[in-house]
Amino acid sequence: MKTLNVGLIGMGTVGTGVAKILLEKDSPLLEKLDCVPVLKGIADSNPDVKTRLDLPPHILFTTDAKTLISNPDIQVVVELIGGLHPAKEIITIALEKGKDVVTANKMLLALHGSELFGKAREHGKSISFEASVGGGIPIIAALRDGFIANKIEAIFGIVNGTTNYILTKMTKENVKYQDALAEAQRLGYAEKDPTMDVEGIDSSHKLAILARIGFGLDFDFKNIYREGISDVDLSDIGYAHELGYTLKLLAIAKKTENHIELRVHPALLPHDHPLSSVNGVFNAICISGSAVGETMLYGRGAGQMPTASAVVADLVDVALGRAGITFKAMKAFSGHCEHVPIADLQQFKTRYYVRFSVVDKPGVLAKISGILGKCEISIASVIQHKAKENGSVPLVMMTHLAEEGNLQKALTEIKQLDIIKDHTKFLRVEE
């Protein structure tokens, strides 16, 4: 049996999962393949890891990643330390030393993907990153291989389990944002500092990776529109629910003739949309392709073994020589793919849910709808609820399709009216 020697850098949750799979005695890899990845060495800055893992004696262990990368017996380096530095340097050195690379590092790829892919090509090596998006869901393989015959028109979905857990808790149990976040932290789904997840940063990294592979285009990551869930109000989830919609944090990539839209924000989906029933920490990604039509992939977007499953799939691709062939052939990895502008927020065209807090007296609706009409926003439905203690009344509207620039213009004008008692909230609707 042929083998591929693996050097694993970073023995956190996922690294430990990868080691478990590679060290399994009755590994499914041995049953299915005649060329398998074999764990040769491990690097982790914490020396206690060696004892914790109870490693077989033939596995090398070092606290210095560079020692492992420099070992001529190692053929592929798995980077699982995360963050930008020293992960970027480790990957760069590994490529320079002629090793293929497997990584789960979405932030690094979103921010420095072009540069690293260029480096890999320069050295005739590959970078594989199935575990960077969607955990155990083979979404990268699907976009790269399975849907290759398609012009990809849209990629959108739930790519962050932490925020989906929080929103599910708010929706199903009527729990306020802060309490749902605290519960997610208690269960280990959210970090102590949850910013990356709740502000949509993690989702924007994943969106950048999906869009690059799906569309084969390059763009400025910093121009991706991003809005998280920390401002989501329980009352809006409730009103939207009454109107037939479920609130989710979506990562959305759409391609038209002239531009691409890349955005991460909370959005309302009709209850019967398949993404509306993706609950808890699960992820799901919908792909719209010119030949295949609508598809959806669903599964665990994080966690030790699902993510390890994706890393090992990449290792098998390297072992079988597939990673190298694909990497050489795909323009998305070339550093020469077309660089396109990301559409401006003002150009987004969706339907909107808008909640005004108004005084309850005759003529209020007429004033608001007058301004909306002037700005070419057409109202689809209106609901009004009972007055709150401070005398303000929530007035909720659903609009027809409209440009966001027009909505912003209308809301700025409406804000000046003396009938407006509080902030106006709006949410985008995806059908």
Span 228-257, contacts to ligand HSE by CB under 6 A = none
Residues in contact with ligand HSE, shown as a per-residue x/- string from 349 to 388 under the rule CB under 6 A: ----------------------------------------
- Burial label for 178, CB within 10 Å (0-12, 13-18, 19+), is exposed
Size of the residue set binding ligand HSE (CB under 6 A): 7
Beta strand spans in 216-303 (E): 225-226, 245-255, 260-270, 282-289, 293-300
Q: Are 39 and 47 in contact (CB under 8 A)?
A: no
* CB neighbours of residue 330 within 10 Å: 16
298: DSSP letter: E
Could you say which residues in the range 128-167 bind ligand HSE, by CB under 6 A? 160-162
Q: Closest separation between CB of residue 321 and ligand HSE, Å?
A: 28
d(CA 315, CA 76): 8
The sign of the dihedral angle between the CA atoms of 181, 207, 304, 169 is: positive
Nearest CB to ligand HSE, comparing residues 68 and 166:
166
Decide whether 197 or 218 has the Cβ nearer to ligand HSE.
197
User: At 225, phi and psi to the nearest 5?
Assistant: -75, 135
Q: Does residue 202 interact with ligand HSE by CB under 6 A? A: yes
- Give me the catalytic one of 106, 206, 254, 425: 206
The rounded distance, in Å, linking the Cα atoms of 266 and 232 is 8
288 scored as a contact of ligand HSE (CB under 6 A): no
Q: For residues 229, 233, 236 and 241, what is the CA-based torsion angle, rounded to 10 degrees?
A: 70
Min separation Cβ 206 and ligand HSE, Å = 7
Q: Which is nearer to ligand HSE, 15 or 41 (CB)?
A: 15
Between 10 and 161, whose beta carbon lies closer to ligand HSE?
161
CB of 104 to ligand HSE, least distance (A): 8
Tell me whether residue 282 or residue 352 sits nearer to ligand HSE (CB atom): 282
C-beta of residue 175 within 8 angstroms of C-beta of residue 183: yes
* Residue 204 within binding range of ligand HSE, rule CB under 6 A: no
Residue 192 burial by Cβ neighbours in a 10 Å radius (0-12, 13-18, 19+): exposed
Tokens of 194: 């949850």
Q: Are 367 and 418 in contact (CB under 8 A)?
A: no
For 345, list phi and psi in degrees, rounded to 5.
-45, -40
Active site residue 206: yes
Nearer to ligand HSE, 209 or 342 (CB): 209
Could you tell me the smallest distance in angstroms from the CB atom of residue 264 to ligand HSE?
A: 13
Residue the block writes with tokens 């993510």: 307
Closest of 358, 351, 348, 346 to residue 424, by C-alpha: 358
Task: Quote the least distance from Cβ 165 to ligand HSE, whole Å.
Answer: 8
Binding string, 291-330, against ligand HSE, x = CB under 6 A? Answer: ----------xx----------------------------
Task: Output the smallest distance, CB 147 to ligand HSE, in A.
Answer: 22
Q: Which residues of the shown chain bind ligand HSE in the complex (CB under 6 A)? A: 160-162, 197, 202, 301-302
Catalytic residues: 206
